[in-house]
């Protein structure tokens, strides 16, 4: 991440492809004045997060990978 890129940690987004153990999921995040898709893994290895769930970025691995947790308990 360069100095002119915003911090990804703490951003909220929405799951567009199931995130879970053994899966490479996908989330959409609002960054750099638009919306972009990122590959996503669960921050907690046992979590499964369904499409449509609001998530928070817990870790970012440039250039396009994030680890996420559900923003709200269900």
The string of pLDDT tens digits covering residues 19-29 is: 999 999 999 99
Mean pLDDT within 3-31: 89
* Alpha carbon distance 37, 28 (integer Å): 4
Average pLDDT over residues 32-43: 96
Pick from 54, 61, 72, 53: nearest CA to 8: 61
* C-beta of residue 17 within 8 angstroms of C-beta of residue 26: yes
Confidence band (pLDDT; 50, 70, 90) for 17?
very high
Confidence of residue 3 (pLDDT cuts 50, 70, 90): very low
Burial class of residue 15, CB neighbours in 10 A (0-12, 13-18, 19+): buried
Q: DSSP strand E in the chain: where?
A: 12-17, 25-31, 34-42, 54-61, 65-70
- The confidence score (pLDDT) of residue 14 equals 98
């Amino acid at each position: 991440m360069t100095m002119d890129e915003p911090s990804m940690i703490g951003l909220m987004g929405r799951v567009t492809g199931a995130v879970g153990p053994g899966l490479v999921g996908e989330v959409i995040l609002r960054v750099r004045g638009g919306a972009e898709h990122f590959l996503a893994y669960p921050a907690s290895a046992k979590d499964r997060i369904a499409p449509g769930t609001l998530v928070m970025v817990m870790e970012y691995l440039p250039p396009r990978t994030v680890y996420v947790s559900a923003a709200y308990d269900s």
